[in-house]
Amino acid sequence: MSPAFHPRSIKAAALVGSGLASFARTRRADEVSILTFHGLSEGDGDPAILDWALHLPVEVFRSICCMLAKDYRVISMADLIEARGRGTTLPANSVVITFDDGYASNYELAYPILKEFDLHATLFVTTGFLDGDDMLWFQRVDLALGRTRKELLDWKINGKTLRLYLGTRELRQQSLMRLMPELKELTNTDLLAEVDRLEEALGVGEPEIRDLPKSLRPLTWEMAFDMTLSGHVDIGGHTHTHPILSRCNTMTMRAEIAACRERILAEIGELPLAFSYPNGGMEDFTRETLLLVREAGFRAACTTVSGRVNEDVSMFQLPRYGSPESVWEAEATVSGAFETLKDWRQNCVRAMSMI
Ligand SMILES: [Zn+2]
């Protein structure tokens, strides 16, 4: 299905077409929106992977950048950090573009578009992934379910048995969606052991990084350095191996954050200013994580909790919107139209209850 016909995009198109987005853009001009992207994809996607949610079609990203360049002011994380630190005002309708994980498609597909529209982005990279040491654990799960010859697997996890149907690509995608939330419940050590066991049970070995499908390949450090020299990109941290930090003990958490910072400093020649928490939900980091990130010298950190950045939010829990699926969704998001509509609905319900 084309992203343009996704129900959220249809709602967004109505908000843009009705003028609500431009109304909200004026009313909420002093709030900052941060957008999260991951990889980008070309054509109809790569049949070698099951989960396409993290790989936005490049033409959608291009149309979003075109809209942002025309009607918004794209600023860097450094601009946001400096303005909040000094108490200065940011330009009206400021937007920050971010990418998580560190995919090669950030360089191959996103970077030329950023240059074309003279926009800036922050890339939050998983440094061990760029080092070429390890692929990300969720990539291994995707490839194991996608490559196995088995058609059925009964998998015991978290005290239950999941019957994973693997007979068709669609069934494999559904099985992946059922398995992932269960895996995210495990401690980091148990999760990695579980992925090993899963590969064994499915009869697939751990893939080498060079065998990764094109869309899953990491950036190289050369690509990252090249982009930072242009001034269109800065590099932020996203841990060393992408564990969910709340599922790690203190020693691992500290080591993941510190190694990430050190590798970026060594390869880019600058300390990263900002960090993003893997998975990024409120349950995916703890108060201790915030302290360790600050202690490591980061000056801001992003979640994946939707919301707008205003004076009230902590610089170590910056809300971010997920990747929009269409230019309408992007516009309804950054303008604040979705929130404005929600506020109106709540006010309406309140007013009706008083009648
Ligand atoms: Zn990530």
- CA–centroid distance, residue 349 to ligand 1 (Å): 38
Please answer whether residues 106 and 11 qualify as being in contact, where contact means their C-beta atoms are separated by less than 8 angstroms: no
Q: What percent of the chain has pLDDT over 90?
A: 76
Cα of 278 to ligand 1 centre, how many Å?
Answer: 5
Amino acid 77: pLDDT: 97
Least confident of 9-18, 66-75, 238-247: 9-18
CA of 104 to the centre of ligand 1 (A): 14
Find out whether 111 and 228 touch, Cβ atoms under 8 Å.
no
Residue 2 confidence (pLDDT): 44
Q: How far is the CA of 218 from the centre of ligand 1 (A)?
A: 12
Name the E strands within the chain. 33-37, 39-41, 55-57, 73-74, 94-101, 121-125, 152-157, 160-165, 233-237, 274-276, 300-302
For residue 161, the CA-to-ligand 1 centroid distance in Å is 27
Q: How far does the centroid of ligand 1 lie from the alpha carbon of residue 152, in Å?
A: 29
Give the mean model confidence (pLDDT) for residues 298-311. 96
Summarize pLDDT for 14-71 with one digit per residue, the tens.
Answer: 778 788 888 888 888 889 999 999 999 997 777 889 998 889 999 999 999 999 999 9
* pLDDT tops 60 at residue 118: yes
Ligand 1 center to residue 208 CA distance, Å? 19
Tell me what pLDDT residue 210 has.
84
pLDDT band at residue 5 using 50, 70 and 90 as cut-offs:
low
Q: Cα of 101 to ligand 1 centre, how many Å? A: 5
How many whole angstroms from 342 Cα to the centroid of ligand 1?
29
User: How many A from CA of 102 to the centre of ligand 1?
Assistant: 8
Indicate whether 4 pLDDT > 70.
no
Q: Which residues make up the environment of ion ligand 1, defined by Cβ < 5 Å?
A: 100-101, 278
Q: What is the pTM of this model?
A: 0.93
Choice among 1-5, 45-49, 317-321 with the minimum mean pLDDT: 1-5
Separation of 13 CA from ligand 1 center, angstroms?
A: 29
pLDDT at 220 over 80: yes
> How far does the centroid of ligand 1 lie from the alpha carbon of residue 216, in Å?
12
Closest CA to 78 of 315, 323, 293: 315
Listed range (166-170, 200-204, 209-213, 269-273) with the worst mean pLDDT? 209-213
Rounded to 5 degrees, φ, ψ at 302 are: -105, 145
